[in-house]
Amino acid sequence: MLQYILKRFLISMVTLWIIVTITFILMVSIPGSPFNDERASNETVQANLEAHYNLDDPYHVQYLLYLKSVATLDFGPSIKQPNQTVNDLLGRGFPISFELGIVTIIVAVISGIVLGIISALRHNGIVDYLAMGLAVLGISIPNFILATLLIQELAVNAKIFPVATWSSPMHMVLPVLALATGPMAIIARLTRSTMIEVLTQDYIKMARAKGLSPWKITIKHALRNALMPIVTIMGTLLAGILTGTFVIEQIFAIPGMGKYFVESINQRDYPVIMGTTVFYSAFLIFMLFLVDIVYGILDPRIKLHKKGGE
């Protein structure tokens, strides 16, 4: 096991290095500069700014500076918010995005699985059609439309929840609803289809024949196998949701880190681009690693390393 983890760690480091290098190449190859805004300026001012942020150095020097910043995990100050380091921005934003993400995931997974099981058990019945109709809506309505709708109806008109910002549990309800609907729908559909498949397997018929209760069959025998595909998508889903979503954070004015992914690129805020990319990649790699571990637990046939196969 330790050997496996070590191997995975080394592979991750190489992956990260490749990502940093590609990001650097992309960064320097897109035209534009962080100092091109619509305000007046002149050559001296531009030159001073470039010197201040080391942008006048040759590319290989800049590349080494970035590698150093990744190695030391210190990305330096943001260009667009010069009084704050990239670490400050991520350190403040990530916990908020994470909090929102975890609640969203819990809501989505529980409601998605429950909805999927119900549909599978009442396969082709009215409940199935209703649940899957809901799931199709959930997948096809973009979350920013749902968000605007929720704000208008539940906040502005009904005045049950606050419109936006992030300061109390009440402020969390609408963004979680808007964010959870999509993943919930995906999970529900996935659970339903695999459950239907699993429920027709011989061993389930066997269990029925033995006279086990339907509840026991569903939870103990069917669901376990039906969970595999869900675990597979979980890694990417978690990494995506936990590191924040640009649109939902923008609409609800949530001070998470989602916006840095998009805005840093628009603004050519190079240290923030590098910081967010490395952070997200490392997080994704870690999540995929966790998923692999969970596979091994869920399905004993999957072996993490050779020795365990004996």
Partner 1 sequence: MKKFLLILLAIFTVGLLAACTTGEDAGEEEPAEETDQKDDTTEEEANEEAVTEGEKVLLLNNGIEPTSFDPSIGFDQVSWDPLNNLMEGLTRLDQDSKAGPGVAESWDISDDGLTYTFHLREDANWSNGDPVVAEDFVFAWKHMLNPETASPAAFLAYFIEGAESYNNEEGSSDDVAVTAVDEKTLEVVLTAPTGFFLDVLTNPAFFPVNHQVAQDNSEWHAEADSFVANGPFLLESWDHNVELVIAKNPEYWDAAAVKLDKVHFAMVNDTNTQYQMFESGELDTATIPPEMSDQLIDGENVFIGPYGGLEFYRFNLTEEPFQNKKIRQAFAYATNRDEIAQYVVKNGVEPAYGFISPGFTTPSGEDFRDVNGDLVPYDPELAKQLLAEGMEEEGYDELPEITLTYSTSDSNKAVAEAMQDMFIQNLDVEVTLENQEWGVFAEAQQNLELQFSRSSFINDYNDPVNFLESFITDSYMNRTGFSSAAYDELIANGRAETDPEARYNYLFEAEKLLAEEMIAMPIRYYNTVVLEAEGVSGILRHPVGYFDLKYADKQ
| Contact footprint for partner 1 (CB under 8 A) | 30-33, 35-49, 51-53, 80-84, 88-89, 91-95, 98-99, 102, 148, 151-152, 155-156, 159, 162-168, 220, 224, 250-253, 255, 259, 266-268, 294, 297
Task: Pick between residue 15 and residue 81 the one whose CB is nearest to partner 1.
Answer: 81
Q: Give the count of beta carbons closer than 10 Å to the beta carbon of residue 258.
A: 25
Looking up tokens 């300026």 gives 41
**Amino acid occupying residue 144:** F
Question: Closest separation between CB of residue 232 and partner 1, Å?
Answer: 16
Question: Closest separation between CB of residue 126 and partner 1, Å?
Answer: 32
Task: Pick between residue 46 and residue 111 the one whose CB is nearest to partner 1.
Answer: 46
| Rounded (10°) CA dihedral 291, 293, 294, 295 | 90
Separation between Cα atoms, residue 120 and residue 117, nearest integer Å:
5
Separation between Cα atoms, residue 66 and residue 274, nearest integer Å:
8
Task: Pick between residue 6 and residue 51 the one whose CB is nearest to partner 1.
Answer: 51
Task: Pick between residue 86 and residue 131 the one whose CB is nearest to partner 1.
Answer: 86
Contact 177, 153 (CB under 8 A): no
Question: Closest separation between CB of residue 283 and partner 1, Å?
Answer: 12
Question: Closest separation between CB of residue 230 and partner 1, Å?
Answer: 13
Task: Pick between residue 103 and residue 115 the one whose CB is nearest to partner 1.
Answer: 103
Separation between Cα atoms, residue 220 and residue 224, nearest integer Å:
7
Question: Closest separation between CB of residue 255 and partner 1, Å?
Answer: 4
Question: Closest separation between CB of residue 17 and partner 1, Å?
Answer: 27
Task: Pick between residue 4 and residue 260 the one whose CB is nearest to partner 1.
Answer: 260
Contacts of 126 by beta carbon, 8 Å cutoff, 6+ apart: none
Contacts of 277 by beta carbon, 8 Å cutoff, 6+ apart: 19, 20, 23
3-state secondary structure labels for all residues of 59-86? HHHHHHHHHHHHHHCCCCECCCCCCCEH
